A and B are shown apart, each in its own frame.
Chain A
Amino acid sequence: MLKEKTGIGPGLLFCLVFSSVFGFGVMNAPYIAAKYGGPNGYWGVILAFFLALPVMLITVKMGKKFPNKSIIEYLPLIFGRFIGKTLGFILLILVLITAVWGTRTITDLFSEFFLPRTPVWAVTLMIIITVGFVAHKGVEGITRVAAFIFPVALVFIFMAVTMSFQGFNIERVQPVFLIDGLKIPYNTIQMFYCFFPLATVFMIYPYLTEKQKGLKTVAGAAFLAIIPIFIMVFSAIGIYGDKGVLRYGWPMLQMTTQAKLPYIFQSFGLFFAVTWYSQIALSLAGLYYTSAQGFSELIGASNYKWLLLVLLPVSYVLVLLVPGLIELRNIFNYLRIIGFGIIFTWPLITWLISLIIKTGELKHAS
């Protein structure tokens, strides 16, 4: 066989980050933004992006400090073996729960809207098999699928965004200067969930071939992904009003269902849902891969594929444990805050401590 090095270029990383952030963020964004930000909810999306920038910056910096190591591998070098491994374990548990939550979201949406007669367990099984298969192909497989779908998905996404502005009323969108207490900062923290898939970047960064382009790539992809999310949140509040948005289980789908091109896209909703599915499936594949790879590094197993085979049935059970959408949303309220605490603060603390104790390549350089 040819000597092959597993590696991904900036183009592949860009596509994966776009799919991950968009897929994970878009479907729940209007609901959460309207719930916590009211008529100002759309600001949460923009501010969350700025909140995510330091995370991206630190990920890249740590990636340069430990060029061939993932976060699971360099945490013990910074915090010591026990604390480092414990922190890594907690991070991986969060990643796994986030993936489970994402899987359940797809199941609920499709069961409710498009497959009402199909048992939930069957829909979940199909999703788990699909996502598991993609994750099994590893970092190259996932990113290549993301890159292949990217142009088509981008066209569909922006078509959906453009066509969803039906019945928009600017008066329903509150201008920024009408700030209502701590609503905007709190909404920003809530909306930070869109960037949970950045956890995938923590793990796959060592595979990036051109590390000098890391920040540009990750930030650019996240920015491109956040644009349609922002427009969707903005138009949802403008169309239904902040209280109107909360009346719908899936306001996003409600909006896109209204959009149509007669005889071509009779109902755009389903096409949008399928496009979204392709994106979130890749996002979840990335998260499942991250957790399997992370656990294999944590316990010293040689192959993430075997761990994936263990994690997927566990995830399947966890997905089916939550009885319904309301319970799922309640759990997600806590998950968003815990996730923010871990995804935002841990890289920051890790970086600061690594600076203080001078670990990583810089130490050798000096």
Chain B
Amino acid sequence: MFFDKFFKSSKKVRPNEKVRSTALRRKNLSADMNKNTVQIKRSIGNPADLVIRNINDEDKPMMVLMYLHSLVDINQLGSQVIEPVNGYINTSKHGINPGILQRLLKSSEIMEYNDIHSAAEGLLNGQTLIVLPDSEKITAVSIPGFVKRPIEDSVTEKVIRGSREGFTETAADNLSLIRRWIKDPNLRVESKIIGERTKTNVYTLYLNDVANPDVVKELRKRLEQIKIDGIVDSGYISELITDSRVTFFPLVQDTERPDKVAAAILEGRVAILVDKSPFALIVPATSNEFYQTPEDFSFNYWIGTFLRLIRFIGTATSIYLPALYLAVVTVNPELMPPYLVQLIASGRSHMPFPLVIELGITLLIFEIFREASVRLPGNINVILGIGGGIVMGQGAIQAGMVGGVTVIVVVFTALASFSTANPSKEQAWRLARYFLLFAAGAFGLLGLASAGLIILAHMGSLKSFGVSYLEPFAPPLTVDSVDAFGRLPWWASFRRPPTYRPQQEDRLGTTEGEDEA
């Protein structure tokens, strides 16, 4: 409560109006071509990559082209703008006015600006400005030529069977990926510019006749309230629109997979695409969503159910195993078979540290290995894996610093943690693991149960855009709960998940079951 209030009043998180950038002020264009050119040049600080090309008919200035060569495709500019204009100048004795210019240009995306501010923004967005003499308007053509990554397989959410498309850093490309999945005229795409300096394009996607209008309205409101100078990644948006600022659990789902986003939109949820970020956001998000993958639906529903159960067991193991091991060995050994107690006790008889310290340090070392390995080049990563994982682990056991069972527990925990289908959720559980570990170290199974209850109570109090984070388990929704632990066959899934309160509960299209009904 205290933290909530503290963060709500923090001006660092949400800067007020006073600190907003006023770098570009609105100023109308004049009829003087040179004056307009100079003002635009000044307004963006005459950057090194700004190209100003004068096109003259003998000595008579015909037009000025302004563009940033880092953002424009020069070849396209030549063929779509310069060539037709030169052709016209060579054949016609008349000057060029905006109407003629629009007919000459071959580009499909042509804009007109009336003020310096908008024109400068267009320039910074990669447009080429065409300034004409005696005109109070500037024509702009969009010929993007910036470097972009091709569509590749998702890095963080790989599947054996399913789509190989992953999002890239270009929002327009990502939008096209979604549009290729959903060809419904009810798919709404709303655009918003966020970030005083980055002017980042943020798209909101939803099905007009399915998504809950309250959620859409609330999302618009929250996006509207964002006052920040820059959006560098969708993570910024995620943190700024979340329902609770003091939790480490993700309340906004992020994904690199367009098929996941398309499925979410079809369920009645709302997707957010952020330019320059390969991660789309989906709201509302319940805890259950983070354990599902598109692969569950690619395989037979029996296999899908099995995979989901394995994922739940894997996640539970990664969260509880170190704490359970600690509680059972140090505080409640009566839980184990006598032979196992002897085995572990004999292995630990010469250990220099208490188990809680040994386990804590080993987990921490593994975390450091993991963090380091993310930033290492691929080939060195393999060496680190062998050197760190096998040689150091073996060395530590032989030196009598760490117990063999401890290493098994830590390595298994680390591997099991990757069974969570979403990296954000997995990171959250990483933190929870230490809380459980120290509670179990202090109070055994009672501490473990208490820490578990505290985490659950915290999760129970969370909401994502009005939806309880623990749905469909709490409040209990019977069919949804079955579909959460397992995977319902498509022929039995007539309804969209009621968790997200869609406008249309029935999925469109008919199935055999519906026909008979």
Stretch of A229-237, A262-270, A293-301 lying at the B interface: A262-270
Of A118, A145, A270, A273, which one neighbours B460 at CB under 8 angstroms?
A: A145
CB distance from B510 to the nearest CB of A (A): 31
Chain A hits for B447, CB < 8 A: 126
Q: Is the CB of B446 within 8 A of A12?
A: no
Closest residue on chain A to residue B439 by CB atoms: A126
Q: Judge if B74 is at the interface, Cβ distance under 8 Å.
A: no
Q: Is the CB of A141 within 8 A of B473?
A: no
CB distance from A260 to the nearest CB of B (A): 10
Stretch of A86-94, A127-135, A215-223 lying at the B interface: A127-135
Of B445, B454, B461, B466, which one neighbours A114 at CB under 8 angstroms?
A: B445
Q: Is the CB of B334 within 8 A of A115?
A: no
A114-B444, A130-B454 known; A144 and B463 CB under 8 Å? no
Q: Judge if A340 is at the interface, Cβ distance under 8 Å.
A: no
Type the 1/0 row for B228-247, where 1 means its CB is closer than 8 Å to any CB of A.
Answer: 00000000000000010000
Q: Judge if A11 is at the interface, Cβ distance under 8 Å.
A: yes
Chain B hits for A274, CB < 8 A: 445-446, 448-449
CB distance from A8 to the nearest CB of B (A): 8
Q: Is the CB of A115 within 8 A of B444?
A: yes
Type the 1/0 row for B257-282, where 1 means its CB is closer than 8 Å to any CB of A.
Answer: 00000000000000000000000000
Most A CB contacts (10 A, CB to CB) among B334, B447, B456 go to: B456
Q: Judge if B474 is at the interface, Cβ distance under 8 Å.
A: yes
Chain B hits for A137, CB < 8 A: 457-458, 460-461
Closest residue on chain B to residue A274 by CB atoms: B449
Chain A hits for B336, CB < 8 A: 266
> How distant is the Cα of A15 from the Cα of B444 in the complex, in angstroms?
27
Q: Judge if B224 is at the interface, Cβ distance under 8 Å.
A: no
Chain A hits for B473, CB < 8 A: 147-148
In the complex, number of A-B residue pairs with CB atoms less than 8 Å apart: 118
Q: Is the CB of B461 within 8 A of A141?
A: yes
> How distant is the Cα of A150 from the Cα of B474 in the complex, in angstroms?
10
Chain A hits for B450, CB < 8 A: 126-127, 129-130, 277, 281
| Given A15-B474, A129-B450, A270-B335, 11 additional A-B pairs, CB 8 A | A2-B218, A114-B332, A118-B443, A133-B458, A140-B468, A144-B470, A146-B474, A147-B476, A148-B473, A267-B335, A305-B1
CB distance from A221 to the nearest CB of B (A): 13
CB distance from A311 to the nearest CB of B (A): 16
Q: Judge if B465 is at the interface, Cβ distance under 8 Å.
A: yes
Type the 1/0 row for B173-209, where 1 means its CB is closer than 8 Å to any CB of A.
Answer: 0000000000000000000000000000000000000
**Quick one: which of B440-490 are within 8 Å of A by CB?**
442-450, 452-454, 456-458, 460-461, 463, 465-466, 468, 470, 473-476
Chain B hits for A327, CB < 8 A: none
A→B interface (CB under 8 Å): 1-2, 4, 8-9, 11-12, 15, 110, 114-115, 118, 122-123, 126-127, 129-130, 133-134, 137-138, 140-150, 262-263, 266-267, 270-271, 273-274, 277-278, 281-282, 285, 305
Q: Is the CB of B446 within 8 A of A145?
A: no
Total interface residues in chain B, CB < 8 Å: 37
Q: Is the CB of B461 within 8 A of A140?
A: yes
> How distant is the Cα of A286 from the Cα of B332 in the complex, in angstroms?
29
Q: Is the CB of A145 within 8 A of B474?
A: yes
Q: Is the CB of B461 within 8 A of A115?
A: no
Of B218, B449, B475, which one neighbours A12 at CB under 8 angstroms?
A: B475
Most A CB contacts (10 A, CB to CB) among B215, B452, B460 go to: B460
> How distant is the Cα of A279 from the Cα of B243 in the complex, in angstroms?
29
A133-B454, A144-B468, A267-B334 known; A114 and B474 CB under 8 Å? no
A2-B465, A140-B461 known; A134 and B449 CB under 8 Å? no
Q: Is the CB of B443 within 8 A of A134?
A: no
B→A interface (CB under 8 Å): 1, 214-215, 218, 243, 331-332, 334-337, 442-450, 452-454, 456-458, 460-461, 463, 465-466, 468, 470, 473-476
Chain A hits for B445, CB < 8 A: 114, 270, 273-274
Chain A hits for B444, CB < 8 A: 114-115
Chain B hits for A282, CB < 8 A: 453
> How distant is the Cα of A274 from the Cα of B473 in the complex, in angstroms?
21
Chain A hits for B1, CB < 8 A: 305
Q: Is the CB of B446 within 8 A of A123?
A: yes
A130-B453, A145-B457, A147-B473 known; A110 and B446 CB under 8 Å? yes
Chain A hits for B214, CB < 8 A: 2
> How distant is the Cα of A2 from the Cα of B212 in the complex, in angstroms?
12
Q: Is the CB of A266 within 8 A of B334?
A: yes
Q: List 14 A-B contacts (CB under 8 A).
A: A1-B243, A2-B214, A114-B444, A114-B446, A134-B453, A140-B468, A142-B460, A144-B474, A146-B474, A148-B460, A266-B334, A277-B450, A281-B449, A281-B453
Majority-rule SS of B interface residues: helix
Most B CB contacts (10 A, CB to CB) among A4, A115, A263, A271 go to: A115
Chain A hits for B331, CB < 8 A: 114-115
Q: Is the CB of B334 within 8 A of A270?
A: yes
Chain B hits for A146, CB < 8 A: 474
> How distant is the Cα of A267 from the Cα of B447 in the complex, in angstroms?
18
CB distance from A103 to the nearest CB of B (A): 12
Chain B hits for A277, CB < 8 A: 446, 449-450
Q: Is the CB of A15 within 8 A of B476?
A: yes
Chain B hits for A134, CB < 8 A: 453-454, 457
Closest 7 CB pairs of A and B: A144-B460, A147-B474, A144-B474, A2-B466, A130-B450, A134-B457, A141-B461
Closest residue on chain B to residue A282 by CB atoms: B453
Chain B hits for A267, CB < 8 A: 334-335
Chain A hits for B452, CB < 8 A: 278
Closest residue on chain B to residue A2 by CB atoms: B466
CB distance from B138 to the nearest CB of A (A): 43
Q: Is the CB of A123 within 8 A of B443?
A: yes
> How distant is the Cα of A86 from the Cα of B473 in the complex, in angstroms?
40
Chain B hits for A138, CB < 8 A: 461
Chain A hits for B243, CB < 8 A: 1
> How distant is the Cα of A267 from the Cα of B337 in the complex, in angstroms?
9
Of B335, B443, B458, B470, which one neighbours A266 at CB under 8 angstroms?
A: B335
Chain A hits for B466, CB < 8 A: 2, 4
Closest residue on chain A to residue B284 by CB atoms: A2
Chain A hits for B218, CB < 8 A: 1-2
> How distant is the Cα of A304 from the Cα of B445 in the complex, in angstroms?
31
A134-B454, A147-B476, A270-B334 known; A126 and B461 CB under 8 Å? no
Chain B hits for A271, CB < 8 A: 335
> How distant is the Cα of A148 from the Cα of B332 in the complex, in angstroms?
26
> How distant is the Cα of A332 from the Cα of B460 in the complex, in angstroms?
33
Chain B hits for A147, CB < 8 A: 470, 473-476
> How distant is the Cα of A4 from the Cα of B462 in the complex, in angstroms?
13
CB distance from A256 to the nearest CB of B (A): 12
> How distant is the Cα of A277 from the Cα of B452 in the complex, in angstroms?
12
CB distance from A105 to the nearest CB of B (A): 13
Q: Is the CB of B337 within 8 A of A266?
A: yes
A114-B445, A262-B337 known; A133 and B332 CB under 8 Å? no
Chain B hits for A129, CB < 8 A: 450
Chain B hits for A9, CB < 8 A: 475
Chain B hits for A144, CB < 8 A: 460-461, 468, 470, 474-475
